């Protein structure tokens, strides 16, 4: 008998929570950070290396995979886990955000969205029903409702109309998802930065009933202050006995602030994308490896980090391979960034369990305020 999908809250400290999500493919420790494997790969990383950083779950992008290589092909080849050689849980997004941000000639109706592919211009349609079908073909463990996410800032009337359509789509997603033991469907709260609309959205989703709930429509240009303003109330509108997922976040200080406000799961391309552009996250803040100050520096990026980039290579070497545009640069810096993010999550899980989360946050900000080590 396989494990059903379930969430267990182990401890809370203030509004911060730690626990576990059990799935047939393994346990997800929360708060969890999910690396993004857009096109069935976390760029510059082998799946086993991603697992070695401490990741329990990956995110795959429905929009990218439906266009190339197609969900039907992945299904024929045994599903996404087998296709990309990742045996732990996978969450797939619904495709809605990428359609809004990447596709051209898109047309939005009550039925769904028609659009032209950014890859080859071919015409496609995603509806709540089609999104559920694609995600089932991919075989992901956590499926996201199909929703519409308006870019902020936007008029309240625009945000309200969009949110209400997303709630109708949430019901259609739930109906189309059906009964899939061991797989979970998450609803997505919308409503922009309007507390009343967020409340209305949360009520609609709770009435439908989901296995988890996302706070959507943030990290779309509203800024950290506005995002934290919404997170001051939005997570508490959602059921406490289900996981809460903040989509598309973020920088390390965004993550710590989100966990402090009751968020259990996050995803972001930032650690991997930054690794490829020479931006490195450490306990002391951001290090730009392309700066000339690192050219003769024999020290590691972070002497307390146990990732391969820090254990085996100097800042001078990492500077050299970045400047030379060597492939190993993106590999090592991405590994380091993902390792740092997972270390941060583990530190928060331990602090919440020990009821010393406030102390953890104080030290986190104090170390970052010190800045990088002195140059040689």
Alpha helices in 116-155 (DSSP H): 128-138
Whether residue 304 lies in the annotated active site: no
Strand-pairing partners, residue 113, are 108, 126
* Phi and psi at residue 202, to the nearest 5°: -60, -40
Task: Walk across the sheet containing 123-126 and list its strands.
Answer: 104-108, 113-116, 123-126
190 is in an annotated binding site: yes
96 is in an annotated binding site: yes
Strand 113-116 relative to strand 104-108: parallel, antiparallel, unpaired? antiparallel
Catalytic residue (one of 56, 141, 267, 343): 267
Residues 293/371, Cβ–Cβ less than 8 Å: no
319 is in an annotated binding site: no
- 291 DSSP assignment: S
Token pair for 36: 């993004």
Helix axes 327-353, 357-370, angle to 10 degrees: 150
Query: 3-state DSSP call for residue 301?
Result: coil
97 is in an annotated binding site: yes
Strand-pairing partners, residue 266, are 33, 246
Catalytic residue (one of 13, 56, 93, 372): 93
268 is in an annotated binding site: no
Residue 80, judged by CB atoms within 10 A of its CB (0-12, 13-18, 19+), counts as: buried
Token pair for 325: 């545009």
95 is in an annotated binding site: yes
149 is in an annotated binding site: no
Whether residue 358 lies in the annotated active site: no
Query: 3-state DSSP call for residue 49?
Result: helix
Q: What is the DSSP annotation of 12-41?
A: EETTEEEEEEEETTEEEEESEEEEB-TTSS
Q: What is the DSSP annotation of 63-114?
A: HHHHHTT-HHHHHHTT-HHHHHT--S-EEE--SHHHHHHT-EEEEE-SS-EE
Report in angstroms the alpha-carbon separations of 153 from 108, 202, 225, 276.
19, 21, 14, 30
Report in angstroms the alpha-carbon separations of 35 from 25, 44, 114, 134.
17, 12, 29, 21
Token pair for 163: 């949110």
Residue 329: closest CA among 278, 260, 294: 278
Annotated binding site for Zn(2+): 305, 307, 310, 336
Annotated binding site for substrate: 93-97, 147, 190, 217
Annotated binding site: 93-97, 147, 190, 217, 305, 307, 310, 336
Please give the positions annotated as active site. 93, 267
């Amino acid at each position: 008998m396989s494990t059903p999908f379930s969430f267990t809250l182990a401890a809370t400290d203030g509004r911060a929570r730690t626990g576990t999500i059990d799935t047939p493919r393994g346990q997800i420790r929360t708060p969890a950070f999910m690396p993004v494997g857009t096109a069935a790969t976390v760029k510059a990383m082998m799946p086993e290396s991603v697992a070695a950083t401490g990741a329990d779950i990956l995110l795959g992008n429905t929009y990218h995979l439906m266009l190339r290589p197609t969900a039907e092909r992945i299904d024929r080849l045994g599903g996404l886990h087998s296709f990309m050689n990742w045996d732990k849980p996978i969450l797939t997004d619904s495709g809605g955000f990428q359609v809004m941000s990447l596709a051209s000639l898109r047309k939005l109706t009550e039925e769904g969205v028609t659009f032209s592919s950014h890859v080859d211009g071919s015409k496609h349609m995603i509806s709540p029903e089609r999104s559920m079908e694609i995600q089932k073909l991919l075989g992901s463990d956590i499926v996201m409702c199909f929703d519409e996410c308006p870019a902020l800032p936007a008029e309240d009337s625009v945000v309200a109309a969009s949110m209400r359509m997303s709630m109708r789509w949430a019901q259609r997603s739930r109906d189309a998802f059906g009964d899939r033991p061991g797989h979970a469907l998450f609803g997505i709260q919308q409503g922009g930065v309007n507390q009343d609309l967020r409340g209305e959205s949360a009520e609609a989703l709770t009435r439908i009933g989901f296995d988890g709930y996302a706070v959507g429509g943030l990290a779309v240009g509203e800024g950290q202050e506005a995002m934290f303003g919404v997170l001051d109330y939005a997570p508490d509108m959602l059921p406490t006995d289900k996981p809460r997922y903040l989509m598309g976040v973020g920088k390390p200080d965004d993550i710590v602030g989100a966990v402090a406000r009751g968020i259990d799961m996050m995803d972001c391309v930032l650690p991997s994308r930054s690794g490829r552009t020479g931006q490195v996250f450490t306990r002391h803040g951001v290090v730009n490896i392309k700066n000339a100050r690192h050219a003769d520096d024999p020290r590691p990026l972070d002497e307390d980090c146990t990732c391969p980039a820090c254990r085996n290579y100097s800042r001078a070497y990492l500077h050299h391979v970045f400047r030379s545009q060597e492939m190993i640069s993106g590999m090592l810096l991405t590994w380091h960034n993902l390792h740092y993010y997972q270390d941060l999550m583990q530190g928060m899980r331990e602090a919440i369990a020990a009821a010393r989360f406030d102390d953890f946050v104080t030290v986190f900000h104090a170390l970052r305020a010190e800045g990088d080590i002195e140059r040689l």
